Amino acid sequence: MKFYYPASKRKIMLVLGDLFIVSLAIVLSAIVRLGIDGGLDYVKGNPMSFAVSGVVLITTFSFAELYDVRKDYKSIGIILSIIFATAIAFIITMVIFYINWSLRIGRGVFLINGALVIFFIAGWRMLYSYIIEQPLFNRRAFIIGAGWAGKTVLEEINKAKKAGIKVIGFVDDDPEKLNKRIHGIPVLGDRSAINTVIRKYNVDTIISAITHEKHADLIKTLIHCSWNGIDVIDMPSIYEQLTGKIPFMHINDMWMLHVVISKPKLYGRIIKPVLETIISLVLFTVSIPAIVLIAVVIKVTSRGSVFYTQERMGKDTRKFTIIKFRTMINDAESQTGAVYAADNDHRVTKVGKFLRKWRLDEIPQLLNVVKGDMSLVGPRPEREIFIKEFEKKIPFYSQRLAVKPGLSGWAQVKYPYASTIEQTEEKLQYDLYYIKNMSFLLDIVVLLKTVRVMLFGMGK
């Protein structure tokens, strides 16, 4: 019998492994420095200090995307990233210890602990990658449907080397595809061959990638397979797990309705607005010196208003006025009319380029969050003229208006500016993923990634 650890369980496995390593390193560092009895007493006497060390390390690793289960933790590049992230975590911990002197631990224990954590975690991650590659931890799967959806999910599985899925073939009712190879994978038969394929190739997972209505015989067969212990997964679910996107070309109105009905509403309706209002108010207050400085620089370096206001469409098509620092020349659209944002836009000023790169032009939108027009996290607000255009060309585009627009969002931290229909479609897949999976944890992830974008100037 095979065992499969899906992405969420693999991530938990990584986190628990790191916590164990941190705990082990703490005990060993104290013992090395103070002896067995003295070391154990030292650990017992400083539980909060060591707990802070662990929390900071896990947070820093999350920030550095070192819990992506698709990465190869045996590669030199990833090992160097682990060493760098660990060093950053210890610098942050040191700062915390000096801010709160009561948490401080001995320098010798602290330095030995740092060295042991780097050594042990690098070794543990390499061991993890080796273990996950073993057949025991992989699924053998075939894909039903060798059309667009089947080929798309196969491409994503191939990209995710650590996904733990080995595709042995396709099953498709089109006689012209039988015995042919698609992206190097054979078409093994039609729906009548499913049970034979399962037995012959020891399959434990079926991926359904059919865009049209399923035949009654196929549904009956899949139900039978599921009852007999075979995992039956639909293409949107596996695609979502692998990419962090929703394949809008492969979903329908009923799928979207199910998402809306089954979505817990307590967080989105009550907790999220209250939390974000408080956080935005605090952030705006802290940012006042930066706001004044940026305003002066904009005023001195270019003609026109410091702020840029524009009508946008928010939740349930409600219109509101967004406020940002002006990054373009004055009256930028007087010659071109409404133009979608693009890379290397000639209308952007030199100061504007800097503000956009570090996302500083977005700071005034904290007031939009406080007013209730926007959220800290959500799909970016768009202009009505573009929304109407995209609704005609892109399925489910209007679903972005089901939630409040955000100052930052899952699409913004995963994808740059969109200046074409194809790029807008790509961003929509990320927005739909956020709407489906909106939660406190996902919001924290987006905010951490946004901070990383700002710190490293990854904006555009």
The model's pLDDT over 374-411, given as tens digits with 9 standing for 90+, comes to: 999 999 999 999 999 999 999 899 999 999 999 999 99
How many angstroms separate the Cα of 395 from the Cα of each of 178, 263, 319, 364, 400?
A: 32, 21, 22, 32, 11
**pLDDT-based confidence at residue 5 (cuts at 50, 70, 90):** very low
How high is the pLDDT of residue 162? Answer: 67
The model's pLDDT over 141-194, given as tens digits with 9 standing for 90+, comes to: 999 999 999 999 999 998 876 677 889 999 999 999 998 999 999 999 999 999
Cβ atoms of 404 and 315 within 8 Å: the answer is yes
CA 188 to CA 180: how far, in whole Å?
Answer: 8
How high is the pLDDT of residue 457? Answer: 63
Helices 421-437 and 384-393 meet at what angle, rounded to 10?
90
Comparison of pLDDT for 30 and 197, the residue scoring more: 197
Average pLDDT of the chain?
87
Cβ atoms of 407 and 365 within 8 Å: the answer is yes
Q: Which amino acid is at 134?
A: Q
The continuous run of DSSP H or E covering 140 comes out as strand 139-144
**pLDDT-based confidence at residue 136 (cuts at 50, 70, 90):** low
Residue 408, strand partner residues: 377
How high is the pLDDT of residue 4? Answer: 42
CA 359 to CA 361: how far, in whole Å?
Answer: 6
CA 281 to CA 284: how far, in whole Å?
Answer: 5
Q: Quick one: the chain helix, strand, coil %, rounded to 5?
A: 60, 10, 25
Percent of the chain past pLDDT 90, that is, above it, reads 45
Of 122, 246, 142, the closest CA to residue 189 belongs to 142
Least trusted range by pLDDT, from 124-133, 317-326, 340-349, 409-418 = 340-349
Q: ∠ at Cα 261 (256, 264), nearest 5°?
A: 115
Tell me the pairing of strands 165-171 and 319-325.
unpaired
**pLDDT-based confidence at residue 130 (cuts at 50, 70, 90):** confident
The model's pLDDT over 6-65, given as tens digits with 9 standing for 90+, comes to: 556 778 888 888 889 888 988 898 899 889 888 888 888 888 888 888 889 888 888 877
How many angstroms separate the Cα of 322 from the Cα of each of 309, 312, 374, 423?
A: 5, 6, 9, 23
Tell me the pairing of strands 185-189 and 181-182.
antiparallel
How high is the pLDDT of residue 173? Answer: 93
3-class DSSP assignment, residue 231:
strand
CATH of the domain spanning 138-243: 3.40.50.720
* This prediction's pTM: 0.78
Where are any strands of DSSP class E within 172-317?
181-182, 185-189, 205-208, 231-234, 307-313
CA 42 to CA 19: how far, in whole Å?
Answer: 19
**pLDDT-based confidence at residue 335 (cuts at 50, 70, 90):** low
CA 202 to CA 1: how far, in whole Å?
Answer: 10
The 10 Å Cβ neighbour count of residue 67 is 17
How high is the pLDDT of residue 332? Answer: 67
- Count how many Cα atoms sit within 13 Å of the Cα of residue 299 in the half-sphere of its side chain: 8
CA 57 to CA 73: how far, in whole Å?
Answer: 17
Helices 36-45 and 47-63 meet at what angle, rounded to 10?
80
**CATH 3.40.50.720 in the chain, residue ranges:** 138-243
pLDDT for 419 beyond 70: yes
How many angstroms separate the Cα of 293 from the Cα of each of 146, 297, 362?
A: 58, 6, 15
Measured in whole angstroms, how far is the alpha carbon of residue 105 from the centre of its chain? 35
How high is the pLDDT of residue 2? Answer: 40
Residue 324, strand partner residues: 308
How high is the pLDDT of residue 334? Answer: 62
Is the four-CA dihedral 222, 224, 227, 229 of positive or negative sign?
negative
